Amino acid sequence: MKIFILQHIDAIITTALALCLLIYAWKHRKRLQSSPRKIDRALPALAIVLLLIGLLRLAFDSQPAYVWQRVYSDDQRASAEFPRPTDTEIDTTSAKGISIRRIQCDVPYKSINLRLSHNDIPPEGLGPTVEQRIEAVLSNFKQQGLTVVSCIPEKNADAPCYRIVVEKDGGKIQISWRIAITPKALYGAMATSTGGYHDDPVIARFLDSFKIQ
């Protein structure tokens, strides 16, 4: 909410000022209507115009222009469409000795983070089956205090793939994830959202665009 206010402060001030003028004009409508000054008689109409301007600015400022562009993992095998490619960056971290490369971006004006990830499976980790890997992923989520809502198997270019949804803090935070498992690597498209953005169309388009080739 604080971020929203800061991003739309001009439109909010305009709308608030218009509402104050409307209230003033309504309370003093008889005096204003009988006033010899044109500016006094025009005050209610000016307040309405100002209110419309404020609301229009608030509406249009809240709808960022998305430029959808397909972005590929570093090995070019996985890809997904991001709404703001210029905001993406490569983040290389290490989890249990495994290098995880992520391309990510935050969706403007919305509490949504989108990520495309890729990590190679080390030689000593090639033994487990696909089912065992998914069980390990779900177990890791549970250890982090997350609640597994769903885990649905699917296919993506003949690679085993799963759609996983987990939640935290009673549903305040939701992670929607499509993970593809190839013989030597894991690929994933993940959307993390908070507040009322769990069902935002941006998330659906991003996850549905995830491809393995």
Containing domain of residue 201, as a range?
69-212
Residue 74, token pair as written in the block:
């570093």
Residue 92, token pair as written in the block:
């290389």
Q: 107 by DSSP, 3-state: which?
A: strand
Residue whose C-alpha is closest to residue 100's, from 200, 197, 185: 185
Instruction: Based on the fold, state whether residues 27 and 123 are members of the same structural domain.
Output: no
Instruction: Based on the fold, state whether residues 155 and 85 are members of the same structural domain.
Output: yes
- Residue 100 has a pLDDT of 77
Instruction: Based on the fold, state whether residues 117 and 200 are members of the same structural domain.
Output: yes
| pLDDT string in tens for the chain (213-residue length) | 554 565 567 778 888 888 888 888 888 888 878 888 888 788 888 888 888 887 777 666 655 678 899 999 888 999 999 998 655 555 555 555 567 788 888 887 788 999 999 888 877 777 888 888 889 889 988 998 999 999 999 877 678 999 999 999 888 999 999 999 888 889 999 999 987 889 899 999 999 999 998
| Bridge pairing between strands 211-212 and 147-156 | unpaired
Instruction: Based on the fold, state whether residues 124 and 160 are members of the same structural domain.
Output: yes
Residue whose C-alpha is closest to residue 18's, from 47, 42, 58, 45: 47
Instruction: Based on the fold, state whether residues 124 and 166 are members of the same structural domain.
Output: yes
- Residue 31 has a pLDDT of 83
Instruction: Based on the fold, state whether residues 42 and 91 are members of the same structural domain.
Output: no
Residue 27, token pair as written in the block:
């309370």
- Residue 94 has a pLDDT of 53
Instruction: Based on the fold, state whether residues 56 and 73 are members of the same structural domain.
Output: no
Sheet holding 211-212, edge to edge: 69-72, 78-82, 211-212
Buried-state track 174-199, b at ≥16 Cβ within 10 A, e below 16: bbbbbbbbbeebbbbbbbbbeeebbe
Residue 3, token pair as written in the block:
């971020």
CATH number at 90 reads: 3.40.1000.10
Instruction: Based on the fold, state whether residues 35 and 97 are members of the same structural domain.
Output: no
Q: What's the number of domains the chain is made of?
A: 2
